[in-house]
Structure 1
Amino acid sequence: MRITKFGHACVRVEHAGVRLVLDPGGFTAREAVTGADVVLITHEHADHYDADHLRAVEAPIVTIDAVARVIAAHAPDLSERVRVVGPGDLLDLGVPVRVVGEKHAVIHPDYPRFDNSGYLLTCGDQSVYHPGDALTPPGEAIDVLLAPISAPWLKMSEAVDFVREVRAPRSLGIHDKVYSDLALGMVDTHMANLVGDLSFVRVPDGADLE
C-alpha cells in the first residue's frame, strides 16, 4: 500500500494496481487526480469537492447523495459517472471500502448540519481511514488514520482525542490548510506530547507516508 498526501484533505491510496483518490478539493493541485481509477468524495464543501478536478479524469466518482445532488445541479456533465453510497455500504472498488458515518462535525449550532461519510479502505493486510469532516470513529481497529488537524469545526484537543480514540498505530495529518506553519508546528508538539506510543506525522504535499 502506498499513501500520498496532496493538498489539504486529499490523499491518494494505491494498492494492487488500483489508485483511489479521496477528496481532491479546491485547496488541492490538479495533479492529485492524475491516473485515478476511482475518486471518492466525503462531502460537498469546496475544500473537498472541485468539479474541474473531476473533469480532469475519467474515473468513477463515489460519493453520498448530498454531493450527487450538487453535481446534478451544477456539473451535470459528471452525473453519469457518479455512484451514490450510504453509511454502512460495503464496496468493491478494486480494494474493499466501507462507508462510515453520515454527518459533518458541527461548525456552529446556527448552521444546518451537512451530510458527510468517511471511507475505510482495506488494502491487503493494511487498512486506512479517511473520516472527511467528522470525528466519527471507524468502529474497528485500523492501521492508518488520516487525521484532520485544523478546521473551523475542530479544536486541538479534539484532534488529539480523535487520534487517541481510534488508536491507529500511525496517523497522518490532513485537513491542514487552515493553520499557518507556526500553528502546524504547535500541532506537532501537542501530538508528540499527548498521543503516547502512537505515531503522528505530517508530510509535505506530494510526499508519501513512509
Structure 2
Amino acid sequence: MKLTKRLHSCVQLEKDGRTLVIDPGAFSEPDAGLGADVLLVTHEHPDHFEEGRLRAALDANPAAGLWTLDSVARLLAPAYPGRVHTVGHGDAFTAAGFEVAVHGELHAVIHPDMPRVTNVGYLVDGSVFHPGDALTVPGVPVDTLMLPVHAPWNKIAEVIDYVREVAPRRAVDIHDAYLADLARPIYDRALESLGGADHARLTAGASTEL
C-alpha cells in the first residue's frame, strides 16, 4: 500500500487503483476525501468529521461508501441510502479490496467533567492502525501505527507508552495540527529514543510505501 499523510489526522491509503481515506475532518485539506472509494470516520469531533468534505467525496464518486459510528452515520445515511454503514468494536468488513477491522469504543478522557463520545479505530489490511482519538491497543500485530502525537487529551509520556504497548514496526505521526514546528524536534527525539519502534514524521502531502 501507499500511505499519504494529509493535514492533522487524515490519512490516505492506496492499493490496486483503489483509495481509502480516514478522518477527512475540518483541519484536513478541503479536498481530502475526494477520490476515495472508501471513507472511514473514527468519531464525531470536527477535526475528524466534517460533513461537507464527506458529502463532496460521496457525490464525486457514486460508488464510494462510508463506514463510521452511529452518530455520524445518522447524519448522512438518509442522503446516501445503502452507502453509509454503521460499525462498532469487533466488526470487520471488506470494502474496495481493503480488509478493515474495527477496534475501540470510547474517545480518550479530555476531562472527567466532559462526556466521552464513541471513538473507533481501524486496522486496515492487518497492517495500518488508525486509533482516532484514543490510545486503543488492538491486541493484534500492527505494522504501521498512526500515532496521535499531540492532543488536549494526551501527554508525551502516554504517547511513548502507547507505542511500547502496541509495539508496531514503525509509528507515523498524526493528530499534529496543534503542535508547533518549534516543538517538533522535542517530540521526535523522545519518540525515537524511547518509543521502541521506528518513528516517521511525514509532512502533509508526503507519501511512503508500506
Report how far residue 79 of structure 1 moved: 6.5
Cα separation, 2, equivalents of 1:143 and 1:66? 30
In the alignment, what sits opposite 1:49? 49
Cα deviation 1:165-209 (Å, max 9, x = unaligned): 11111110000011111222211011122123x101111001113
Percent identity over the alignment is 49
Cα separation, 2, equivalents of 1:118 and 1:137? 9
Cα separation, 1, equivalents of 2:122 and 2:107? 14
- With the length of structure 1 as denominator, give the TM-score of the two structures: 0.91
Q: 1:1-210 counterparts in 2 under 5 A?
A: 1-58=1-58, 59-69=64-74, 71=75, 77=79, 81-93=83-95, 94-122=97-125, 127-196=127-196, 198-210=197-209
Cα deviation 1:120-172 (Å, max 9, x = unaligned): 011xxx61000000001111111100000010001011111111111111110
Report how far residue 80 of structure 1 moved: 5.6
Cα deviation 1:67-107 (Å, max 9, x = unaligned): 223x25xx953566321111100101121100101000000
Secondary structure in structure 2 of the residue aligned to 1:209: strand
| Contact persistence 1:55–1:78 (CA under 8 A) | no
Give the partner amino acid of 2:79. Answer: D
Q: More displaced, 7-16 or 37-46?
A: 7-16
- With the length of structure 2 as denominator, give the TM-score of the two structures: 0.91
C-alpha root-mean-square deviation of aligned residues, in Å?
1.6
Report how far residue 31 of structure 1 moved: 2.7
Q: Structure 1 stretches (4+) deviating beyond 6 angstroms?
A: none
Give the partner amino acid of 1:11. Answer: V
Give the partner amino acid of 2:87. Answer: V
Report how far residue 17 of structure 1 moved: 2.4
Equivalences, count: 203
Cα separation, 2, equivalents of 1:30 and 1:170? 28
Secondary structure in structure 1 of the residue aligned to 2:39: strand
Report how far residue 16 of structure 1 moved: 2.4
Cα deviation 1:9-64 (Å, max 9, x = unaligned): 00001122221100000000023222100110000000000111112112211101
